[in-house]
Amino acid sequence: MATTIKGPAIFLAQFAGDAAPFDTLDNICKWAAGLGYKGVQIPTWVSSFIDLEKAATSKAYADEIKGVVNSHGLEITELSTHLQGQLVAVHPAYDAAFDGFAPASVRGNPKARQEWAVQTMMHAAKASQNLGLRAHATFSGALAWPYLYPWPQRPAGLVEEAFDELARRWTPILNAFDDAGVDVCYEIHPGEDLHDGISYEMFLDRVKNHPRANLLYDPSHFVLQQLDYLDYIDIYKDRIKAFHVKDAEFNPTGRQGVYGGFQSWVDRAGRFRSIGDGQVDFPAIFAKMAANDFQGWAVLEWECALKHPEDGAREGAELIQSYIIRVTEKAFDDFASGGTDKAANRKMLGLS
């Protein structure tokens, strides 16, 4: 029997801020519940929401965090380490840009920064376990991304070596999550070495099909790179363990296409939109997820070049609720059942 997707839920990262109601976990959960959300995905780099190391080392503190969320009638869907996961693998070209994701103590020191990121991921595994979670959202990081388009021609073995190293770095982390009973859900995303199905398979092969090396499905990134986001669901249905509901549109012109011409988000041919305002076929997605027995949460990720985030959040709760298919417990044609048995079936087939 298929499972009804849980939701609506909301990823809190794009809403966190210094002013109420976005300044504390208690306040933002009250706000989210007021909009009709039933779950929250918590960005672990927002210290006013959660102390990740403390959640990993203190079950009592983890219970306290869970209690704050539950007090508003909400559940924690997943923890997110998108920023920390990014730092597990950083090409030197991005050192300066990504240093801001790390604490001041390791900035300017790529080795120390990477060690900090790995330790943070280990904390995320244990914290997720302490919170009773089954999935975790993150990024893979990237070593090969600067060489995405082969000009000049890539040296033989360059990409293979990058993925070999990526697998070496992630295998101990995946093992820690396995010990914790939690799936690592990589968001397949531009800027990451895991940016489409093929690159994910290259990684999966190198981590020996690790049972915890799973996927966060976000169709918006596939619209922007012109990948068939519905076929993707069927191909990777057994690995999709988390789901971001985010919209996008792609409107190429004679002047720009997928690469965007270095334009701002508003002026790009491909840009993110609030759900319902873009081109993603969410009814078809939710139908496939229901048919494939997805057992996780539908989590709004608001990113839009035009609409105000609070409007996107309000509309998003209503839209996700309308997309969720309450799966049926019986076949629509059960009323016409003749109640036949094996003997009757054999007789119908002329075998009696």
pLDDT of residue 155: 96
Domains and CATH numbers, the chain: 6-348 (3.20.20.150)
What mean pLDDT is predicted for residues 100-120? 98
pLDDT in tens, 233-286: 999 999 999 999 999 999 999 999 999 999 999 999 999 999 999 999 999 999
Q: Which two tokens mark 198?
A: 């093929």
Rounded to two decimals, what is the model's pTM? Answer: 0.94
Q: Check the CA dihedral 101-106-110-111 and report its sign.
A: negative
DSSP conformation letters of 293-345: T--SEEEE----SSS-HHHHHHHHHHHHHHH-----SS-TTGGG-----HHHH
Q: Shortest CA distance to 321 belongs to which of 348, 350, 286, 292?
A: 286
Residue 152 pLDDT grade (very low, low, confident, very high; cuts 50, 70, 90):
very high
Residue 101 pLDDT grade (very low, low, confident, very high; cuts 50, 70, 90):
very high
**Residue 299 · residue 39 · CB < 8 Å:** yes
Q: How many CB atoms lie within 10 A of CB 162?
A: 20
* pLDDT exceeds 70 at position 223: yes
Q: What are the phi and psi torsion angles at 264 (to 5°)?
A: -65, 165
What mean pLDDT is predicted for residues 205-224? 98
pLDDT of residue 268: 97
* pLDDT exceeds 80 at position 217: yes
* pLDDT exceeds 70 at position 166: yes
Residue 238 to residue 8: CA distance in whole angstroms: 22
